[in-house]
Each structure stands twice: as C-alpha cells, then as structure tokens.
Amino acid sequence: MDLRERLGQIFTLTAELDPPRGSDATKLLEEAKKAQVLVDAVNISDSPQANLRMNPLVAAHLVQSQLGLEVIAHFTCRDRNVLGLQSELLGAAALGVRNVLCLRGDPPEKGDHPNAKGVFEVDAVGLTRIVQGLNAGKSHAGRELEPSDFMIAVAANPSAPDLKLERQRFAEKIAAGAHVAQTQPVFDLETVRRFEEMVQPSIPVLYGVLPVLSLEMAERVSKWTSIPQALLSALETGGRAAGIAWARKVVADLRQAGVAGAHIYPLGRSKVLSEVLSD
C-alpha cells in the first residue's frame, strides 16, 4: 500500500531527513535505510534554514530508486521563479518523485549565503496552485502539457497565535489543490483538538512531533513555538529520557485520537527516530 492509499485509512508515520551538504548521498541513504523499518515515508528538506544542501528532488530520487522508500520532497519558492519551479517539477515527475511539500522557504539571510537574493515570485499557495496545474496538464502560462500525478502536501501550524488566520490560509491551500498537510510540532492533544475544532480540516493531517532532548533545546524551540510547562518540568528532572518519553506519548496519543498520522522531526538522528517509534 503506497502513501496515498494509507492516508486517511491507516495511521501513517513520516520522518524528516536533510539532504547532504555535498554531492555524496551515502549518509542520507544510510539514515533513510534505518528509517525505512520505522516509517511509511520520509521527507527530504529543501536547503533548510537557507543553508546549501543537495537538491531535494534529486535526493528524493536517490532514496526511492535505491531503497524503494517513498519520499515527500520539500519544494520552496525561495530559489526559483515560476519557470524554474515548473521545470524542476517536470524533472521530478520524470524521475518518479510523486509527492511534494509546497513551502515558501526560509529567507536567504538566515543561512550560509546571506547575500543571496530570494525569488519568492509566488508563495506556498501559489506553488500549490502551480503543482495542481501540472496535474491538470497546464503550465502556469496556460500551455497544455502531459498531466503529472503529484500528491500535493502543504504545511500547517496548529500552534499559530492567530488560528483564524491559519484557518483562512489552510482553506486557501486546500482550494489551490492540497491533498494532505504536515504540521509544525505539537506537544499535546489539546493543541490538536483546538486546531481541528477551529480549522476543521477536510484533508488528512500528519501532526508534527519534535523530541525535545534538553532544557537548552527547549529554550531554542520556545523562541518559535510554545512548550508546555509540564514538558519543561519533565526535562528538568529527567533530561533526555524524559524528552523521548514525552514524544513517544504524543505519538501514542495521536494514534489513539484517530488522526491521519504523525510526522517526526528526529533532528537528523536515526537513533532518536528509533527511540521514539520502536516498541
């Protein structure tokens, strides 16, 4: 059963991997092979934090062709205009990369090429619309093409400070053609329930799970999302083991709640993924 067939029917697990910093994909393939026995698919990020890494579509093809593990390739608006976006997507389709996560992308000034110029000719909604157009056999300029067959994933943030705005944005992504969503990390079911009540998603949602392994890491994470006081207290007394246990419970709670699945952020470490997901 492939990823599309699983979604909405069977609790689905995905995990995020980063492509290599150079042209050698050996380590990526090793990490993907370890993840293969734990998850249904892996995500390959697109130069996360605007730091140079291998093209995610190429990396996705290597993982799929050499391991047979299904991949969701991240694809951002940061580095490509609408012509480049479509060109790379057509190449991905030819290589059998059928799942893409449409993202705006981190601004270049955050990364290792701070003087690079971001493109951002479209945003994540516009990119979603472009991919849906390719599925329908139309280029962004309206030219007829052989239809593609992408599963379109989009991002969501259940911890967004303005859930009304998040609901509006989510609805725009669905209208543009999204098939599934993957979210920023959640740390409790209360956040999930609040999001579902407000947004009422009509597509499967894989909720993000981030293992927080120390108080120092919690401090960094708290700069961009809210961490429950109970987790901070657990980390203070139990350290890394408490962070793993918390992530394991979140996954179990999500499974029990009947949501579509969970997306694990293992920090590039297969050991962390194994600790969170192994029985």
Identify which of 8, 19, 76 has the alpha carbon closest to the alpha carbon of residue 42. Answer: 19
For the chain, the domains span 3-277
* pTM score, whole prediction: 0.96
| Residue 179, φ and ψ in degrees, nearest 5 | -105, -25
Cβ atoms 148, 135 nearer than 8 A: yes
CATH number belonging to domain 3-277: 3.20.20.220
Cα–Cα distance measured from residue 250 to residue 42, given in angstroms and rounded to the nearest whole number: 19
Q: Which single residue is written with the structure tokens 């329908």?
A: 136
* Continuous segment of H or E residues that includes residue 26: helix 26-36
Q: What is the pLDDT along the chain (279 residues), one digit of tens a residue?
A: 899 999 989 999 999 999 999 999 999 999 999 999 999 999 999 999 999 999 999 999 999 999 999 999 999 999 999 999 999 999 999 999 999 999 999 999 999 999 999 999 999 999 999 999 999 999 999 999 999 999 999 999 999 999 999 999 999 999 999 999 999 999 999 999 999 999 999 999 999 999 999 999 999 999 999 999 999 999 999 999 999 999 999 999 999 999 999 999 998 888 999 999 987
